[in-house]
Amino acid sequence: MRNNSKGFTLIEMMVVVVIAAIMMGAVSLSFPSNQSEDLLKKEGDRFVALMHFAKDEATLQSREFALLLDKTGYAFYLNDQGSWVEAEGAFARKDFPEVIKPKLYVEGEYVAFSKKKRASPQILILSTGEVTPFSYQLSYQNEIDLDINVDASGLIKQRITNKNAK
């Protein structure tokens, strides 16, 4: 009596599955990691969201906001009877991871970050919706740059550049 069954045995199927799994693992390991780009995007998106929120709050509350940028992060300020008071809550100070280095250009001019403990904010966010035009560049180990450009009307544009991309 002949057994003419057609098909694959269980062992043959398992061998194919194991080979496919090994090949998929090798392919996924060969793709470069974008953790640095993801980190920059995350920090940039958080900054942009807070800028939009500050602009909206300034307009709704008829109150001026300001932004202080330094070499380690940024903080929002509120105008309280003619003086700037550091904001709390969602607008509390945010620090960047040490691998991110910022640069600031206000109205096209490079601005060196102040070494003073109590520096004045460089960016105004007015209750009319107007914002001091500025560009903020976040660099990840001089390999990847995220440029954030804000015009006088508060329009924000982001662009990421990988200096090592071929």
Series of mean pLDDT values for 10-residue runs along the chain (166 residues): 70 86 74 71 89 91 91 90 89 89 88 77 90 90 84 88 69
Residue 12 lies in a domain: no
Number of helices (H) and strands (E), helices first, in the chain? Answer: 2, 10
Find out whether 134 and 48 touch, Cβ atoms under 8 Å: no
The confidence score (pLDDT) of residue 139 equals: 87
- Distances in whole angstroms, Cα of residue 93 to Cα of each of 88, 105, 109, 129: 8, 20, 24, 22
Look at the chain and report how many structural domains it folds into: 1
Residue 132 lies in a domain: yes
Residue 17 lies in a domain: no
Residue 24 lies in a domain: no
Q: Distance between CA atoms of 160 and 166, rounded to whole angstroms?
A: 15
Q: Which domain holds residue 94?
A: 35-162
